[in-house]
């Protein structure tokens, strides 16, 4: 009987989600493109296989581990004009968080370039009219790197966008739109071919549609072991969110049309129920300083249906010193050609290799 009940609920969920997607597709920023043909790519053990649910704390957030935040800055996808790039913000901020965690929150914060993704990943990941978090991860892994955001700051434009000034700027995938610098006068802007960057090792997914009974354990274990994850959500009911724990578990509100990042969880002292702590990409004027909380374990607003994680491979911690005008970094064929002894790369150690969750390790410090 339980098998038939779960099958019925799963089928009902898929039908409702699919129906909602057809009705609201024009407004959805979550879009799987034809060029995105590899949703997962990993061989490492998943954290839930070596972390028992009873070993997870009642409350944990990467925003406060013994008073230290391991989260990167909050973002706003809607400036300098509207751009439906939540999928890139949720994916890239989570990956940047994992780099910060790997560095024990030391040194200058590394934020990865969302504009590089918008300029170059339109076939696989998306545009200002929607995309997917897993598409971002596929692109970075196949491309071999993504630049830091000081190379290509976010301008909220992609090649087909006409909002604001987008129709007047070049967002094609070229060297100058991957990393650039500009000087005054006739010299204008030039490409930088030797630049700080990060690469990606593995990525994968979790979903309540594949596992109705233990998906919360899997997500918590992933967050606790390796860091924040990108997650889908139905954004319509939270547009006017003013704080508190969202408890909307209606089937018809489970259609994912927006991507955010789960950074931790907590327990409501009044009810004893757990909730997710989620970072949005609508700026710190929205919600709880850019965050919201939502009940755990019921796929509220679809929050447990479309989870994606990724692990870094390596990232630049000491750069090749380009001149201000970039002249000494323009002729090299690529950043990989630099053999300068000043360049230093940190290689990521996946905690799944030895089964020690980073959350537990850093909580002991």
Q: Which of 280, 299, 319, 322 is catalytic?
A: 280
Tokens 């410090």, residue? Answer: 365
Residue 351's φ and ψ, nearest 5 degrees, are -60, -20
Pairing of strands 130-131, 291-295: unpaired
Which residues lie below 8 Å from residue 153, measured CB to CB, with a gap of 6+?
Answer: 113, 115
Q: Is 78 a catalytic residue?
A: no
Q: Is 258 a catalytic residue?
A: yes
Tokens 């380009």, residue? Answer: 322
Task: List the structure tokens of 313.
Answer: 């491979």
User: How far is residue 264's CA from residue 296's CA, in Å, rounded to a whole number?
Assistant: 11
User: How far is residue 180's CA from residue 354's CA, in Å, rounded to a whole number?
Assistant: 40
Q: Which of 36, 145, 217, 258 is catalytic?
A: 258
Q: Which of 36, 83, 86, 197 is catalytic?
A: 86
Contact yes or no for 258/21 (Cβ under 8 A): no
Task: List the structure tokens of 173.
Answer: 């995938």
Q: Is 280 a catalytic residue?
A: yes
CB atoms within 10 A of CB 44: 14
Query: How far are the Cα atoms of 5, 157, 309 from residue 352, in angstroms, in the given order?
Result: 34, 37, 13
CA atoms within 13 A on the CB side of 210: 9
Q: List the catalytic residues.
A: 86, 258, 280
């Amino acid at each position: 009987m339980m098998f038939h009940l779960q099958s019925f609920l799963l089928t009902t969920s898929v039908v409702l989600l699919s129906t909602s997607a057809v009705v609201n597709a024009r407004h959805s920023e979550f879009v799987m493109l034809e060029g995105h043909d590899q949703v997962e790519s990993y061989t490492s053990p998943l954290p839930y296989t070596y972390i028992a649910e009873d070993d997870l704390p009642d409350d944990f957030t990467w925003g406060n581990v013994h008073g230290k935040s391991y989260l990167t800055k909050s973002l706003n996808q809607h400036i300098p004009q509207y751009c439906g790039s939540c999928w890139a913000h949720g994916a890239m901020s989570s990956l940047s968080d994992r780099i910060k965690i790997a560095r024990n929150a030391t040194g200058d914060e590394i934020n990865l370039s969302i504009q590089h993704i918008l300029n170059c990943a339109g076939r696989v990941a998306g545009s200002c009219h929607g995309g997917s978090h897993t598409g971002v991860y596929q692109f970075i892994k196949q491309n071999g790197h993504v630049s830091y955001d000081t190379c290509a700051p976010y301008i909220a434009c992609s090649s087909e966008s006409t909002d604001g000034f987008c129709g007047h700027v070049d967002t094609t995938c070229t060297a100058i739109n991957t990393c650039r610098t500009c000087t005054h006068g006739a010299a204008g802007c030039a490409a930088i071919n030797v630049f700080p960057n990060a690469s990606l090792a593995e990525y994968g997914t979790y979903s309540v549609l594949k596992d109705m009974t233990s998906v919360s354990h899997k997500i918590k274990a992933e967050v606790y072991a390796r860091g924040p994850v990108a997650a889908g959500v139905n954004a319509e009911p939270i547009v006017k969110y003013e704080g508190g724990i969202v408890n909307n578990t209606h089937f018809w509100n489970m259609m994912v049309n927006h991507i955010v990042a789960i950074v931790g969880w907590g327990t409501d002292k009044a009810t004893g129920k757990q909730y997710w702590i989620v970072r949005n990409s609508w700026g710190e004027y929205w919600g709880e300083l850019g965050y919201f909380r939502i009940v755990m374990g019921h796929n509220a607003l679809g929050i447990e249906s479309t989870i994606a994680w990724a692990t870094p491979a390596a990232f630049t911690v000491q750069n090749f010193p380009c001149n201000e005008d970039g002249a000494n970094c323009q002729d090299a064929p690529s950043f990989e050609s630099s053999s300068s002894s000043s360049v230093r790369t940190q290689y990521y150690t996946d905690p799944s290799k030895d089964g020690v969750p980073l959350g537990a390790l850093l909580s002991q410090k």
